[in-house]
Structure 1
Amino acid sequence: MGILLALIPALGWGVQPLIARKIGGRPTNQIFGTGLGALLIGLVVLMGAGTVTDRDFAISFLAGLLWSIGQVGQFVAFTKIGVTRTMPVSTGLQVVGTSLIGVLIFGEWPGTAAKLIGLLAIILVVVGVTLTTVTDQATGGSSLKSGLLILVPTTVGYLAYSALPKALPANGLQLFFPEMLGIFVGALLYNLCTTQGRSLSEKTSWQNVLIGLIFGVSSLAYIFAAKLSGIATVFVITQLNVVVSTVGALVILHEAKTNRELKATLTGLGLIVIGSVLTATL
């Protein structure tokens, strides 16, 4: 049952970029819809999740707020370098960053053997990410650079979202609502700062609520799946989301690639997945 539940975030997180590109709108529209949809799922969970201390609420709220920064970075990167480049790079950065935080702060990967395997996994992910950025177009280098300048620093938001709750005693369900509330507030602040709130009334902002609903349900499924089958197993399965999003962008969004770019992207994608699997087994 846990493995079946893990397929929900693998598919849900994978189709989110495809839906965002299909619905359209600016990053302001997309992040507001994402935040509102996530909050709605959070409100449903709140009814039966129980309360948390003020400290746990504040930290998990902050984690959600910072997640919204990472998501804005993704939405902006989609417009600059497409889904097929954004998602592998974003996933690779998260795997490497989360692994390093786990080792340096939480004492994960104990023992020499584990650290060596972990280092190999990080190398595979880095090589995989590099391959997914291969481009043959003369103008591709400049657009790739502009996309990475947004994507790389904002990924810190995703890393904080992953790391902060690990330091709290409350369980995932108890932290779920404050995290979703933080995501919504972050989305609201971004809209107020960039469009003075004008985008809140635009049709595409409300259409993108679908993304937030999918994210919320997927995140909830991840919590239950991890309880049933363990975090390591579930993490491996959910990494399929990068395959879903990248292949989906090629097939559904028709993002163009030369034969050389396509081969490099698929090879890099495979290395990222293998590296992710290795980190989860430690």
Structure 2
Amino acid sequence: MNLFLMLLPAIAWGILPLAVAKVKGQPINQIFGTAVGTLLASVVVFLVMRPSISTLNFILAMVTGAFWVMGQLGQYTGFRELGVSQTMPISTGLQLVGTSLIGVLIFGEWASTSAKLFGALGIVLLIVGSIFTAVHDSGIQQEPNPRRKSTLVMLVLTTIGFLVFNTIPKAMSSSGLAIFLPESIGMVLAVLAYVAVTRQPQVLRAKASWQSVLAGLIFSVASVSYILSVRANGVNSAFVVSQLSVVLSTLGGMLFLHEHKSRRELIFTLLGLVLIVAGAITTTMF
């Protein structure tokens, strides 16, 4: 059972980008459906588990959910412009680097000299791995993507949302299943605010938006099983194995979504994945 809990987050998070990419809609449709699906699942979890949480932590958790929307919207845009097989390893690498640095600078992690050395090595591996997965042969595509550079910049900037989402819970007295419901409420409120500001009310009734609810349920399975895996297997083991999701989603993008890569791009992508997984292990285990 512990092994199943350890593998389930990686499988669910690995499948999530593939499920989202299959929905014929815009990123705003996909993020709306994902947020609604997550809220539905979190209500069920709350009614079953009845976790307790203070008012302050409830509000902070809602804020983290709102920032998640920023990061996920950037990632979904990357799926459309760059493809899943390129967006996921870059996004994952950026998150791992940012989260590790925040852990050191704010929470005082990697206290020992050896931890700092291995942590620095892990960050280098993550950065190099992300660069490798971003290698692109412009002459391969029949129709070059003029928005490629701007999409990469957007992906870097919106990663801030994921970093806040990953960081704030570390400073909270409540965590895990207790913050799942308020996080999802924050997600939905942020999406509705974005829809209102951008004047896209049609998103609320679009077929693609409601098809994307499945993505929210998949995200919820990954999140809940990861929380349970942390309890059963420990933070380090649960986290490292969950990062295998990037391998599954990247390979799935090429195999199931038929995202084309040249031989050179494929070699660099596979090397990049190896380095990203190695970097995740190095920054977590030492």
Normalising by structure 1, we get a TM-score of: 0.97
Provide the residue aligned with 1:60 in structure 2.
Answer: 61
Provide the residue aligned with 1:193 in structure 2.
Answer: 197
Provide the residue aligned with 1:109 in structure 2.
Answer: 110
Provide the residue aligned with 1:23 in structure 2.
Answer: 23
Contact 1:3/1:234 (<8 A) preserved: no
Report the Cα distance in structure 1 between the residues aligned to 2:3 and 2:193, rounded to whole angstroms: 37
Q: Determine helix, strand or coil for the equivalent of 1:107.
A: coil
Among 203, 210, 226, which residue is 2:207 paired with?
203
Report the Cα distance in structure 2 between the residues aligned to 1:41 and 1:77, rounded to whole angstroms: 26
Report the Cα distance in structure 1 between the residues aligned to 2:106 and 2:46, rounded to whole angstroms: 30
AA at the equivalent of 1:26: Q
Report the Cα distance in structure 1 between the residues aligned to 2:34 and 2:192, rounded to whole angstroms: 10
AA at the equivalent of 1:233: S
Contact 1:35/1:185 (<8 A) preserved: no
Tell me, which stretches of 5 or more residues in structure 1 are unaligned? none
Tell me, which stretches of 5 or more residues in structure 2 are unaligned? none
Q: Once the 2 structures are TM-superposed, how far is the Cα of residue 3 of structure 1 from its aligned partner?
A: 2.9
Provide the residue aligned with 1:260 in structure 2.
Answer: 264
Among 165, 185, 189, which residue is 1:161 paired with?
165
Report the Cα distance in structure 2 between the residues aligned to 1:91 and 1:121, rounded to whole angstroms: 14
Q: Determine helix, strand or coil for the equivalent of 2:221.
A: helix
Among 184, 209, 216, which residue is 1:180 paired with?
184
User: Greater CA deviation, 61-70 or 41-50?
Assistant: 41-50
Report the Cα distance in structure 1 between the residues aligned to 2:40 and 2:226, rounded to whole angstroms: 17
Q: Determine helix, strand or coil for the equivalent of 1:272.
A: helix
Deviations 1:47-74 (A, max 9, x none): 1233311110011110011001100000
Q: Once the 2 structures are TM-superposed, how far is the Cα of residue 84 of structure 1 from its aligned partner?
A: 1.2
Normalising by structure 2, we get a TM-score of: 0.95
What are the residue-to-residue correspondences of 1:226-237 with 2, within 5 Å?
Answer: 226-237=230-241
Aligned in 2, Cα 1:42/1:83: closer, same or farther, shift over 3 Å? same
Report the Cα distance in structure 1 between the residues aligned to 2:120 and 2:50, rounded to whole angstroms: 38
Aligned in 2, Cα 1:116/1:233: closer, same or farther, shift over 3 Å? same
Report the Cα distance in structure 2 between the residues aligned to 1:237 and 1:266, rounded to whole angstroms: 18
Provide the residue aligned with 1:135 in structure 2.
Answer: 136
Provide the residue aligned with 1:34 in structure 2.
Answer: 34
CA RMSD of aligned residues (A): 1.3
Q: Once the 2 structures are TM-superposed, how far is the Cα of residue 126 of structure 1 from its aligned partner?
A: 0.5
